[in-house]
Amino acid sequence: MACALLPALLLLTACDGSQPLLKHEPKQPGPFPAADRPVAAIVSSRWSNEEARDRLREAEQVMDKADIRPGMTVADIGAGEGYYTIRLAARVGERGRVLAEDIFEPIRDALAERVSRERLENVSVRLGTANDPRLPDRSFDRVMMVHMYHEIAQPYEFLWHLRPSLKPDGLVVVVDADRTTRNHGTPPALLTCEFAAVGFQRVSLEPMASAGGYLATFRPMGPRPEPADIRPCRMAPAGAEGGQGHRP
């Protein structure tokens, strides 16, 4: 009789005082392999001042090389103060969308204020995490990563989470300097190796003097590997051909 008076939820348990069934959180993927390289400290949300960058036509040339067109949907990862966000918004136009993301709340909030002040209705701003950009699946024609890849401490986990966000013909666009990660750059051989470990194929690699280095693009190829199957890249010995980045 007592059991019949309990709410329906408690009928899931016995009348002998046993505890209700607990809802388990979904298992998180991983563990992922660690990167065999130093990670550059994040020293500023600004790579250079915007006027100097515009004098070199940096954003214009990068967007041209990345084939950013009206109507596209673009993610700006590590958006900082919004140098690329603002210019991407103008390039994709009213029919396009830009998602600007940063991992620091004060920077995210400052960028959101700028977007609101400049009335960029095709831009949304959100907070990501250091190991997961938290992008919606199959949403982006381009994912931009400008002068920030060398600051990613867990590149395999980050790229694994990022990969589903691309549309079938989407590309990841990386702009970085050709120097060691410790010195705020990424050697192209290392970049290519780390992307390949998560199932990306390099499409292009071009020097970009106006952006202080090079521009590389990548597309997903084949199935996304399971975290346990990712083979991490190892740093090549000093002076070895190809610099950093080779498989063990």
- The candidate with the shortest Cα–Cα distance to 95, out of 68, 58, 125, 122, is 122
| Cα torsion 24, 228, 203, 45: sign | positive
**pTM for the full predicted model:** 0.83
Query: What integer pLDDT is reported at residue 190 of this predicted model?
Result: 96
Q: Which residues of the chain have pLDDT under 50?
A: 1-22, 45, 239-243
CA atoms of 63 and 191, how far apart (whole Å): 20
Q: Which token pair is 184?
A: 């705020």
Neighbours of 43 (CB within 10 A): 8
CATH number at residue 142: 3.40.50.150
Residue 72 resides in a domain: yes
Cα within 13 Å of Cα(193), Cβ side: 21
The tokens describing 163, both together, are 């990969």
Q: What is the Cα–Cα distance from 110 to 125, expressed in whole angstroms?
A: 10
Specify the residue for token string 């006027």: 51
User: Quick check: 129 and 103 in contact, CB under 8 A?
Assistant: yes
Please tell me what DSSP assigns to residue 161: H
User: Total domain count for the chain?
Assistant: 1
- SS3 state at 211: helix
Within a domain: residue 18? no
97-102 β-sheet, strand order: 123-127, 97-102, 73-77, 140-146, 166-176, 213-220, 200-208
* Residues forming beta bridges with residue 174, ordered by sequence position: 145, 216
**36 in a domain, yes or no?**
no
What's the rounded Cα separation, in Å, for the pair 105 and 107? 5
> What are 134-180's pLDDT values in tens digits?
999 999 999 999 999 999 999 999 999 999 999 999 999 999 999 99
Q: State the angle between helix axes of 188-197 and 155-162 in degrees (0 to 180), rounded to the nearest 10.
A: 60
Cα separation, 124 vs 112, in Å, equals 8
> Per the domain annotation, does 23 fall within a domain?
no
Tell me whether residue 201 is in a domain: yes
The whole-number pLDDT of residue 236 equals: 65
Query: 30 in a domain, yes or no?
Result: no
Residue 122 inside a domain? The answer is yes
Q: Rounded to an integer, what distance in angstroms lies between the CA atom of residue 142 and that of residue 72? A: 8
Task: Kindly state whether residue 29 falls inside one of the protein's structural domains.
Answer: no
Domain span including residue 112: 53-229
